[in-house]
Amino acid sequence: MEYKHRIADQMLAKKLASKGAILIEGPKWCGKTTTAEQQAKSILYMDNPASLETNLQMAEIDASVLLDGETPRLIDEWQLAPKLWDAIRFEVDHRHDVGQFVLTGSAVPADEKDMHHS
């Protein structure tokens, strides 16, 4: 299937050029992941059935391992492992670079008890 360009593509490119990480939220099947995939250089699908349990365990043990990859790195359905939020925040603060991460997630809020940063 051919990708149809969206207004959101330009918005995402502009944000990536000025921010370390971008969060795209919305209901399922609205195009968040598809839009982000167009600009991502590497992708982690947190909800991939083949690696879901491993991803969740790794997020608990050492979330930074899941962040390894060419940037911008897309972390799809990041909210499944709320500890990723702090790991991404730490990486953005210490790498001092823009366009590092794109996080996508459905509108279901993450469990904030496992997050330390806003």
Q: Domain with 102 in it: what CATH number?
A: 3.40.50.300
Domain-embedded: residue 44:
yes
Is residue 13 a part of any domain in this protein?
yes
Let me know: does 99 contact 71? Beta carbons within 8 Å: yes
| 48 in any annotated domain | yes
**What are the respective helix, strand and coil percentages of the chain, to the nearest 5?**
45, 15, 40
In a domain, 112, yes or no: no
Q: Which of 7, 24, 16 is nearest to 106 (CA)?
A: 24
* Number of domains the chain is built from: 1
The whole domain housing 25 covers 7-107
- What is the tens place of the pLDDT at every residue in 47-106? 999 999 999 999 999 999 999 999 999 999 999 999 999 999 999 999 999 999 999 998
Residue-wise pLDDT for 4-61, tens only, equals 999 999 999 999 999 999 999 998 889 999 999 999 999 999 999 999 999 999 999 9
Query: What is the DSSP secondary-structure string of 68-107?
Result: -SSSSEEEETGGGSTHHHHHHHHHHHHH--SS-EEEEEES
Query: The pTM is what?
Result: 0.88
